[in-house]
A and B are shown apart, each in its own frame.
Chain A
C-alpha cells in the first residue's frame, strides 16, 4: 500500500505552496494525497438566538463554499497524475488533522506556514505549534 500524505488546505497562498510541495513529493514516492479543509468552529461558542436559527443554513453554505475552493485543486492534482482526495470538516484544525491522520492512516501531515509573528502564534496558538506538539505522524511545514 502506498503512503498517504495529509495536506491542510484553506485556499490561501501558503496552503497552495504546501499542496505544490506535497504533489512534488507524491510524484516521486507514488503516495496518495488527502486534502483537508477545516472550517473553524467550536461547539462551545456563544451565539445570539438569531444566529442559532440560521446556523443550519450557514453550515450548508460554508460546506458549499469550501468545496468550491478545495474540489478544483483536487481535480487539478488528479489530472496531473497524482491520486488525490479531499474532505471538508467543521471543527478545530489541529484536532481534526490529527484525527483524520489516524483514520486515513496518513504517514505525514503537510501544512503551509501561516507567517504570523512568533508572538501572535504564541498568543493565538498557531496550527503549526499545535501539530508540532500533538501530531501522531511527522509534520512538514512549507514556508
Chain B
C-alpha cells in the first residue's frame, strides 16, 4: 500500500517536471495531435448554421432524445415528480436495508458529478451569447432531460452485474451488451458497449479531468498570484489530493469535500436567492426579459433561435442527460425495482439545471450585469453579477468552482475506472494502473494549454451520448415494460410505503 503510493508520487513528480519543461512541449504535443484530433472534434461537434448561429448537431441529438423519452413515457417527469420526492425521502425504503446505499445517497453522489463548472461558467456563456431568453430554453431543456435520465438510470440498475463479493457494476456498457443481447442483437450490443467504454475512458481523462483541472487552475491563478505560470505545481497538488482519495483509499479528503460540496451548493443557491430577494422589485422585469428574450430577443445573434441554441447547449452540457455517466453512479443503489432509481434520477437535471442554473442566470439578469458584446462572459459574468451585491464574492465563487471541479474529478475517475475494468477485466493491478494514469492527466490538464487535446476530451464525453442514446432508443420498450410492471405492483399494494 505504501509502496504503490510511493510509486504514484514518483510518477507524479516525473510528470510534473516533464510538463514544466517548457511551452515547447505544449506546442509540440498540440501540433502532433492536431491533425488527428480536429477531424474527430469536428465530427462530434459538427455544426450547421441556423439563422447565423452555428448549431452543433449533438445538441439536437440530445434534445430530440429527451423529447422522445418525454412523450414515450407520458411526461413522466411531471407525473412522477411527487413519487420521486417520496422515494428520495425514504418513504419506500425497507428498514431491514438500513446500512445499504439509499436513493438519497445515489442521487447526491450522481449530482456531485454533474454540478460543477457548467452551473457557474456555462450559464455565464449562455446568457452572454443568448441573452436572458436563453434561461427559458435552458429550463425547457432541463425539464425534458429529466425523462432521458429516467430511462438511462432505470436501465443501469436493471442490467447491472452483482458480484459475489457484494460489489456491483452497472452503466451503459452493461445495458448495451446485455440488453441488446436479450433482443437478439448481441454483436451490435457488444460493439456499442466497447465503443462506449473507449469514449467513457476518454471522457474521464478529458472532460472529467483535464478540463476540470485546467479550469480550476485558471480560477485559482486569478486570485492567488503566486500560482501564475505555475500550472504544473497546482496540478501536482491537485493530483496528489486526487491520488490520496482514489489510490490511497484515504476517504477523509473525500469526506471533507462531501461535506463542503453540498454546503457550497446550498451557499451558492442561498446567496442567489438573497440577491433575488434584495432586488425583488426587478423580478417581474427580469422574468419579462427572460420570456421576451426567449421568443423575440433583441441584441442577440440569431434572435430567438440564438437564445434557444445557447440555452439548450448549456443545459445539455451541464446535466449530462443522455451521456450515460449518471447511470454508472446510480447502479450501486439498494432496490428491488430498477424503476425506483429511474424516478430518483429524474430529479437530477431538475436540481442541476432547473434550479441551480436558473439561479445563476436570474442573478445575472436581475443585477443587469449582462451587457451585449462587452466581452464579459462565462465565469467572469457570473462573478460580476454576484459581486454587484456582495463584494468579495468572487473569491468564494473561485473556491466553489475548484471544489465542484474536484468532486467532478472524483466521480469521473470512477466512471472511467468502470469503463476500464469493463474492457480489461477487474483486478487490483489493472485498477491501480488506471488510477495512476488518471492522476497524471490532472497534472497535464492544469500545466499545459493543450487546446486540441482538451477539445478532443470534451468531444469524447459527447461521443458517449451518440452511442448511449442509440442504445436507449432500442431499449425503450424494455423500460416501458419495467415501468408498467412497477405500477401494477404499486397499485396492488405489493409495494407500499414503509413510513
Q: Which residues of A contact B (CB under 8 A)?
A: 39, 41, 43-57, 59-60, 62-63, 89-91
Contacts and interface: CB of A to CB of B under 8 A. Distances in A.
B103 to A, nearest CB: 9
Interface stretch (B19-27, B94-102, B192-200, B378-386): B94-102
Contacts, number: 88
Given A43-B93, A48-B245, A49-B329, A59 B414 contact: no
Question: Main secondary structure on chain A at its contact with chain B?
Answer: helix
Given A47-B258, A91-B99, 12 more contacts: A43-B93, A43-B102, A46-B109, A47-B105, A48-B258, A49-B332, A49-B415, A50-B414, A53-B168, A56-B166, A57-B167, A59-B99
B258 A53 contact: no
Contacts of B166: 54, 56-57, 59-60
Interface string B113-133: 100000000000000000000
Interface in B326-344: 328-329, 332-334
B101 A55 contact: yes
A46 B105 contact: yes
Given A43-B93, A60-B166, A48 B414 contact: yes
21 contacts: A43-B90, A43-B93, A43-B98, A43-B104, A44-B105, A46-B109, A47-B101, A47-B108, A48-B411, A49-B109, A49-B113, A49-B414, A50-B246, A52-B101, A52-B106, A56-B167, A57-B165, A57-B166, A59-B100, A90-B99, A91-B98
Question: Main secondary structure on chain B at its contact with chain A?
Answer: helix
A39 B99 CA distance: 8
A41 B101 CA distance: 11
A46 B98 contact: no
A41 B332 contact: no
B259 interface: yes
Interface string B401-421: 000000000110011010000
Interface string B223-262: 0000000000000000000000110000100100011011
A43 B95 CA distance: 11
Given A39-B99, A49-B329, A44 B246 contact: no
Contacts of A60: 166
Contacts of B246: 50
Interface in B61-115: 90, 93, 98-102, 104-106, 108-109, 112-113
B134 to A, nearest CB: 31
Nearest to A57: B166
